[in-house]
């Protein structure tokens, strides 16, 4: 059986989002009938609980934008967070069977 590579991470340890993850998200939320809005709301709830300091930081930063921009800014932040969560979840599965680490420099 060929040796499998561990998922790639950035030089700072963040998961690198793969084309497969983006395809899976698009397939689930554009063709699969699941609601992306609900996914973002669930991610937001986890984010607030699991990342309280980051939540405060983002809220302070986002409050600098005009009020009409607040929703799009926060939606963008939650979209990025949700995609990184999905990639991290995929990576955890891959890490459980992979043996060769792969780093991007």
More confident residue, 101 or 78: 78
Cα distances from 54 to residues 24, 37, 42, 77, in angstroms, run 27, 21, 17, 11
Domain ranges (residues) in the chain: 29-99
Owner of token pair 């005009």:
66
3-state secondary structure of 10: coil
- pTM to 2 decimal places: 0.78
98 pLDDT above the threshold of 70: no
pLDDT tens per residue across span 49-69: 999 999 999 999 999 999 999
Predicted confidence at residue 6, as pLDDT, reads 61
100 pLDDT above the threshold of 70: no
Q: How many CB atoms lie within 10 A of CB 25?
A: 20
Predicted confidence at residue 95, as pLDDT, reads 74
């Amino acid at each position: 059986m060929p040796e499998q590579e561990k998922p790639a991470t950035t030089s700072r340890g963040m998961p690198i989002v793969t084309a497969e993850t983006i395809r899976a998200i698009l397939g689930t939320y554009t063709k699969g009938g699941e609601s992306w809005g609900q996914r973002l709301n669930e991610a937001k709830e986890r984010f607030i609980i699991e990342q309280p300091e980051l939540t405060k930081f983002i809220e302070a930063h986002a409050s600098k934008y005009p009020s009409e921009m607040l929703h799009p800014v926060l939606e963008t932040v939650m979209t990025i967070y949700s995609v990184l969560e999905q990639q991290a979840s995929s990576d955890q599965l891959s890490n459980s069977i992979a043996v060769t680490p792969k780093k991007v420099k």
